Chain A
Amino acid sequence: MSLAYALRRCGLMVYTLLVVSIIVFGVTQILPADAAVVLLGENATPEQLAALRDRLGLNDPAWQQYARWLGGVLTGDFGISVRTGQPVLPTILDALSRSLLLALLSIGFMLVIAVPLGIAAATRRGQLGDIAFGIVSYVGVSLPEFVTATLIILLLADTFKLLPATGYVPLGEDFVAGLKHLVLPVVTVSLIMVAHVSRMIRSELVDALHSDYVRAARMKGLPETRVVYGHALRNALLPTITIVALDVGYVLGGIIVVEEIFAIPGIGRQIIIAIQSRDLLMIQAGALTLATTYAVMNFLADLAYAVVDKRIQYE
Chain B
Amino acid sequence: MSDAPILAVADYTLDYRTRLGAVRALDAIELTVGRGEVVGLVGESGSGKTSLAWAIMRALPANAIELRGTIRLGAVDLRAQSGTDMTHIRGRRIGMVFQDPAASLNPTLTLGAQFVEALTTHHGLSQAEAWSEGERMFARVGLADPPALMRRYPHEASGGEKQRVIIATAFACRPELILFDEPTTALDVITARQILDLFLELQRETGVASLYISHDLAVVSQIASRVAVIQRGRIVEQGGVSAVFARPAHAYTRQLLAAVPRADRRLVAEMSGHGKQLAAVRDLTVRYGRPSLIADLLGRTKPMVTGNRAISIEIRWGEILGIVGESGSGKSTLARALTGLARFEGSLLFDGKRIGGATDMTGGYRRDVQIVFQHPDSSLNPRQRIRDILGRPFRLYGVPDGRPIAEAIADLLRLVRLPAEFADRFPHQLSGGEKQRVAIARAFASRPRLVICDEVTSSLDVSVQAAVIELLVDLQRKSGAAYIFISHDINLVRQIAHRIAVMYRGELVETIAPEQLSTHGPTHPYTAALMAAVPTIRAATTHAGGTS
* A231 and B121 within 8 A (CB): no
CB distance from A310 to the nearest CB of B (A): 5
The total of interchain contacts (Cβ-Cβ below 8 angstroms) comes to 82
Say whether A234 contacts B106, CB under 8 Å.
yes
User: Is B107 interfacial (CB-CB < 8 Å)?
Assistant: yes
- Given known contacts A8-B294, A215-B59, A221 and B105 CB-to-CB distance under 8 angstroms: no
Q: Assess the B87–A211 pair: CB atoms within 8 A.
A: no
Query: Which chain A residues lie closer than 8 Å to B86 at the CB level?
Result: 221
CB distance from A48 to the nearest CB of B (A): 49
Q: Are A213 and B121 in contact (CB under 8 A)?
A: no
- CB pair B294 A309 closer than 8 Å: no
Of the candidates A211, A214, A215, A230, the one whose C-beta lies within 8 Å of that of B117 is A230
User: In the bound complex, how far is the Cα of B235 from the Cα of A40, in angstroms?
Assistant: 95
In the complex the two chains form, is B100's CB within 8 Å of A212's CB? yes
Looking at B59, B100, B108, B294, the one whose CB has the most chain A CB atoms below 10 A away is B108
Taking a contact as CB atoms under 8 Å apart, the answer to whether B107 and A213 are in contact is yes
How far does the alpha carbon of A232 sit from the alpha carbon of B429 in the complex, in Å?
33
Q: Which of A235-254 contact B (CB under 8 A)?
A: 235, 238
B414 to chain A: closest CB distance in Å?
40
Q: List 25 A-B contacts (CB under 8 A).
A: A211-B103, A212-B103, A212-B104, A213-B103, A213-B104, A213-B105, A215-B104, A216-B104, A216-B166, A217-B114, A218-B90, A219-B59, A219-B91, A219-B96, A220-B90, A220-B121, A221-B121, A222-B87, A222-B118, A223-B121, A224-B83, A226-B117, A230-B109, A231-B109, A234-B106
Query: Which A residues are in CB contact (< 8 Å) with B24?
Result: none
CB distance from B68 to the nearest CB of A (A): 25
A234 and B118 form a contact (CB under 8 A): no
B524 at the interface (CB under 8 A from A): no
Give 1 or 0 for each of B383-412: 1 = CB within 8 Å of chain A CB.
000000000000000000000000000000
Mark B87-113 against chain A: 1 for CB-CB distance below 8 A, else 0: 111111000101010011111110000
Picked from A8, A217, A219, the residue with its CB within 8 Å of the CB of B57 is: A219
By a CB distance below 8 angstroms, the chain B residues around A212 are 98, 100, 103-104
B179 — nearest CB in chain A belongs to which residue? A219
3 A-B pairs with least C-beta separation: A221-B91, A221-B90, A212-B103
Report yes or no: A218 in contact with B59, Cβ–Cβ below 8 A: yes
CB distance from B108 to the nearest CB of A (A): 4
Binary CB contact string for chain B from 147 to 169 against chain A (1 if under 8 A, 0 otherwise): 00000010110000000001001
The chain A residues found within 8 Å of chain B, CB to CB, are: 8, 11, 211-224, 226, 230-231, 234-235, 238, 308-311, 314
Q: Is the CB of B121 within 8 A of A235?
A: no
> Are B106 and A221 in contact, with the CB atoms below 8 A?
no
Cβ of B122 < 8 Å from any Cβ of A?
Answer: yes
In the complex with contacts A219-B91, A311-B153, A235-B117 CB distance below 8 A: no
- In chain B, positions 159-187 with a C-beta closer than 8 Å to chain A are 166, 169
Most buried by B among A212, A215, A219: A219
- For A215, what are the chain B residues with a Cβ–Cβ distance below 8 Å? 59, 98, 104
Q: Which residues of B contact A218 (CB under 8 A)?
A: 59, 90
Contact assessment for A309 and B87 in the assembled complex, using a CB-CB cutoff below 8 Å: no
Find chain B residues with CB under 8 A from A217 CB. 106, 114, 117
Determine if B108 and A308 form an interchain contact, defined as CB atoms under 8 angstroms apart: yes
Whether A234 lies near B98 (C-beta < 8 A) is no
Contacts known (A219-B57, A220-B90, A220-B169); A234 close to B108, Cβ less than 8 A:
yes
Q: Closest chain A residue to B152 by CB distance?
A: A310
Contact A310 B153 (CB under 8 A): yes
